[in-house]
């Protein structure tokens, strides 16, 4: 009887497992078909939101892992991953980097290094999305210049869940960003930082 109950309890996961295997094969092909570059053995699990304008670039290195919704990471619930490169925007994700349901939106340049870990449901955007001038937002006849500046996340950094990384920021190698932080300024290498706005709390032991 217990074996039957165990079997029945696992049935709802069958569809999820089948989708996982499908998207592991479909997503790298989909990215390549839309002009993106995908390295060897990259693993993109489940459906993602993907948008790349003709002059934009999206590049994933080798052994990149991106999970997207469907309970693969409980922190993300059913939030799907998003890769969006508009205008001349560039998204670069280095080898052996992993992330869960990120929203990465580039109109300038977002460079994520090697062996970086990005926790569930983080947002990384190198632009303001909308003009900060209320008059220009209100009047559709006015030019809407949206400010942007490149973002760099260096090798082996660890960004906790639900963080927001805003334009013009560099996060140094091996630094740790606490969950829920809003990063508005550069964080040096080998630090632990957290808060809104994110500030250095201490130097990380064992840093180079």
User: What pLDDT is stored for residue 55 in this prediction?
Assistant: 96
Q: What residue has token string 């996961």? A: 13
The string of DSSP letters for 26-75 reads HHHHHHHHTT-EE-TT-EEES--EEEE-TT-EEEE-TT-EEE-STTSSGG
Asked about 130 being catalytic, the answer comes back as: yes
pLDDT at 158: 98
- Averaged over successive runs of 10 residues, the pLDDT of the chain (208 residues) comes to 56 66 87 94 91 96 92 80 96 97 97 97 94 79 81 98 97 97 98 97 76
Q: What's residue 77's pLDDT?
A: 80
pLDDT value, residue 206: 62
Of 63, 109, 130, 162, catalytic = 130
- Domains defined for the chain, CATH in brackets: 15-203 (2.160.10.10)
């Amino acid at each position: 009887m217990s074996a039957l109950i165990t079997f029945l309890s696992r049935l709802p996961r069958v569809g999820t497992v089948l989708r996982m295997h499908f998207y592991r094969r479909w997503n790298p092909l989909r990215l390549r078909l839309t002009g993106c570059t995908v390295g060897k053995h990259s693993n993109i699990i489940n459906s993602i939101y993907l948008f790349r304008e003709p002059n934009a670039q999206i590049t994933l290195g080798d052994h990149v892992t991106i999970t997207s919704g469907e309970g693969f990471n409980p922190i993300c619930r059913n939030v799907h991953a998003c890769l969006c490169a508009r205008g001349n925007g560039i998204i670069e994700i280095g080898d052996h980097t992993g992330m869960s349901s990120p929203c990465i939106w580039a109109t300038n340049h977002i460079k994520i290094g090697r062996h970086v870990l990005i926790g569930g449901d983080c947002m990384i955007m190198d632009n303001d999305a909308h003009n900060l001038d209320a008059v220009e937002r209100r009047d559709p006849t006015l030019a809407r210049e949206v400010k942007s500046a490149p973002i760099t996340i260096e090798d082996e950094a660890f960004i906790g869940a639900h963080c927001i990384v805003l334009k013009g920021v560099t996060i140094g190698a091996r630094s740790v960003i606490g969950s829920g932080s809003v990063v508005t300024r550069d964080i040096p290498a080998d630090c632990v930082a957290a808060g809104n706005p994110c500030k250095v709390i201490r130097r990380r032991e064992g840093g180079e």
